[in-house]
Each structure stands twice: as structure tokens, then as C-alpha cells.
Amino acid sequence: KTVVVTGANGFVASWVVKFLLERGYTVRGTVRNPDDTAKVGHLFGLSGAKERLTLHKADLLAEGAFDEVVQGADGIFHTASPYFIKGITDPEAQLLSPAIKGTLNVLKSASKASSVKRVVLTSSVAAVTNNDKPKSPEVIVDETWWSDPEYCTKQKSWYSLSKTLAEKEAWDFAKDKHFDLVVINPAMVVGPLLQSTLNTSSETILDMLKGVTKEYLNVSFGYVNVKDVALAHIFAYEIPTAAGRYLLAEKVLHYEEVVEILKKIAPAYSRPSKMVGEGPKAPTYTIKHDKVETLGLKLITVEDSFAELIESLKDSGYLSSTS
């Protein structure tokens, strides 16, 4: 079977590619620049890559850029989308446009390839929880929840807005097409890095451990292991009855609890010692994960996921092993 993975060099996608190769798939990965060895080099070290991985140049905003690469493929994993929170000066150009137009660009190419049976889209919990619904430890968030674009705009949560609008457009576009759409909505993804560059969710934890972040935010986020996220994509592709959205979070933690976990598993490193601002502590809530478990996934604990991320940051030299 031949599948396409967009943004193949990314944190999540690299694990998707690794597991696909291990399962015998032929993988066509799209990247912005196949010659950028710092970004893509790790992919050629994956088992099976020599025989069954090819890289193809495609920018999300280049009209028709995915037309050729999806021809003859059985499925598409659309993971590429900008994820950053620092240095946003033009949300439309930096986040909204590549996420929304990019998703439509990929889906339009899929609609012209009769071979494609299923598209698995990487959305986010950012497209689920960013709304004014009250949150408390009793609240259970499930797949019916959606982030509210107006709320995201008011909060200047541009990344959330990009993921919400991109997922909405995807569902609209995929109606009545010859392929079906399945969506994965992961929370903050942590765990070991395969790539040598640093992605946003890993950098957030690294900045705490290096003392760059001195005060933690008064917010609660869900967390999930990158290997579970990758497997969820593959199960959602392989299992014929998979349908709709799949929320993916092992546990929701307030930053205060993240700091406590980091203190326990990595006592040698720095941690932010106080919370930004005043006011009551943001509540935690539950993100349901029983739907994804019906695909056969048993989620790795957040504690193990943080420990794996820290080991990986040490191995790759981002975190000194002696401090």
C-alpha cells in the first residue's frame, strides 16, 4: 500500500512515517525542501526508508502542489500545518492561511485522485476546547465540542483559530467526496523526538527545564505521547469502521502540576517557580479518550511521556545531562 504523509519531517509526522514503514507501507513524504538535510536527514535513517520512502517538495500554499504526489496513493495523512506561538506578527499569513488554504489544497488534490480512499487529518484539541463553556474537574470534553472562532479571535488564540477553521473547512469539503475523512485531535504532544530540529510543544517544556521560562502560565492543557498520536493516525487509517473525530489526551494538567511532575522526574533541572498573574487557578477538566481506545490504543501515562521527552532532549544535546 502507498500512502502520502504531508509535512513528513515534523515531530508528529516523523513518528507516523516510522510506524508506517515498519508496517510495510510505501511512503511518499511531502516537505518544503527535500534538500534541507538538517530538517529531513533523520527520515533516511528510519528502518525501511531506503526501500520505501521518497520525499517530494510541496508548500501548503502552492496551488496544485499535491496533485502529482497523491496520484495512485491509497491514503493521505495530512499533518502539515504551522504550529508556533512565538513571534506572531501576521496571523493571517503565518498561521491561518497555510492551515486553512493548505488543508483545502491537499483535499482538492485528493478529490482528483480516484485511488485515495481515506484522508486522516491532524487537527488538535485546540479546535475543541477553546470556547467560553465553563470548565471544572467535573466537566467531560468529548468529540461533540468545538472551539468557537469568535472566542479564539477575542483571545488572540491564532493557532487555535487556524486549527478550528481548517478542520471545519475539511469536514465541509469532504462531504460527498469519493474518499472519507477521519480526524485526530491531539492535546499537547510530548515524548521522544526523532527529528533534530525543535518543535513548539517540546520547546515549551525545554524552556522550563533550562530556566528560560521563569513563570508558568495559569492554564490547564491535556497531554499525550507522540507515539500514541502516530499510532492513532495509523489505526484511524487502517480500521474500516473508524469515523469522525478522535480526541487524544491522557490527562489534563495545570502548569503547576506539570512543574511538580518535572520536579519529581528531573530534579536536577530548573523549573519555573511561580505562576504568571493573579486570580484563581485555572481548573482542570477531563478530555474523554474512550473513543480512541476503541481503535485499540492504550495511552502512555503523562509521567512516562515527560520522562521520554527529557531523555530525548538530553540525547539530542538540547538539554545538558549534567546541570
List of residues contacting ligand NDP (CB under 6 A): 7, 9-13, 32, 39, 59-61, 79-83, 98, 122, 124, 163, 186, 188-189, 199, 201
Classify each residue of 2-35 as buried b or exposed e, where b means 16 or more C-beta atoms within 10 Å of its C-beta: ebbbbbbbbbbbbbbbbbbbeeebbbbbbbbebe
| 246, 291 contact by CB (below 8 A) | yes
What is the smallest separation between the CB atom of 308 and ligand NDP, expressed in angstroms? 14
**13 versus 242: smaller Cβ distance to ligand NDP:** 13
What is the smallest separation between the CB atom of 279 and ligand NDP, expressed in angstroms? 25
Tell me phi and psi for residue 182, to 5 degrees. Answer: -125, 140
With CB atoms as reference, the residue minimizing the distance to ligand NDP is 10
**128 versus 242: smaller Cβ distance to ligand NDP:** 128
| 4, 106 contact by CB (below 8 A) | no
Cα separation, 37 vs 28, whole angstroms: 17
**10 versus 272: smaller Cβ distance to ligand NDP:** 10
Ramachandran category for residue 187: left, alpha or beta (phi over 0 → left; psi -120 to 50 → alpha):
beta
What is the smallest separation between the CB atom of 246 and ligand NDP, expressed in angstroms? 12
What is the smallest separation between the CB atom of 250 and ligand NDP, expressed in angstroms? 13
**31 versus 307: smaller Cβ distance to ligand NDP:** 31
**124 versus 213: smaller Cβ distance to ligand NDP:** 124
What is the smallest separation between the CB atom of 120 and ligand NDP, expressed in angstroms? 11
- DSSP letter at 305 equals H
Burial class of 74 by CB neighbour count within 10 A (0 to 12, 13 to 18, 19+): middle
**134 versus 141: smaller Cβ distance to ligand NDP:** 141
What is the smallest separation between the CB atom of 322 and ligand NDP, expressed in angstroms? 28
Outline where 71-129 has alpha helix (H): 91, 97-111
